[in-house]
């Protein structure tokens, strides 16, 4: 999974302007984030029609605030620059829950 560099919201919207993307907001100190990380390669493989970016919430704190990401781990999906769904909370997430979220995107 590619790590998203530090950027502003307008830069992000250009980056995700063409195609399908999932942002995975995480942080090194977050135990719930560490719990889902081992499942991420399989999730990426199962949903290969999306490009996944790992977003370090602490490095991209302004971007996270602009996108109303106040709990991690969280997932935000985009298609052609428009948000199409979010799975955002401070709760631990299972592989099944993340896959169900992605499966239900339009």
For residue 90, pLDDT beyond 90 = no
Contact 24, 55 (CB under 8 A): yes
Average pLDDT for 14-30: 97
Could you confirm whether domain 2-103 is CATH 3.40.30.10? yes
Q: What is the pLDDT of residue 64?
A: 96
Residues 6+ apart with CB under 8 A from 3: 53, 54, 55, 56
Contact 49, 43 (CB under 8 A): no
Average pLDDT for 9-34: 96
Q: What is the pLDDT of residue 91?
A: 84
pLDDT in tens, 30-82: 999 999 999 999 999 999 999 999 999 999 999 999 999 989 999 999 999 99
For residue 89, pLDDT beyond 90 = no
Q: Model pTM?
A: 0.94
Q: What is the pLDDT of residue 106?
A: 78
Q: What is the pLDDT of residue 79?
A: 97
Average pLDDT for 20-34: 96
Measured distance CA(95)–CA(4) in Å, rounded: 22
């Amino acid at each position: 999974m590619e790590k998203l560099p530090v950027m502003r919201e307008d830069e992000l919207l250009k980056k995700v302007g063409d195609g399908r993307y999932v942002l995975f907001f995480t942080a090194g100190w977050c135990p719930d984030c560490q719990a889902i990380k081992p499942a991420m390669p399989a999730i990426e493989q199962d949903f290969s029609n999306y490009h996944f970016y790992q977003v370090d919430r602490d490095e991209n704190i302004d971007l996270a605030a602009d996108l109303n990401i106040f709990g991690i781990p969280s997932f935000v999906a985009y298609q052609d620059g428009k948000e199409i769904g979010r799975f955002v909370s401070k709760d631990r997430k299972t592989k099944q829950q993340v896959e169900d979220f992605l499966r239900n995107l339009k």
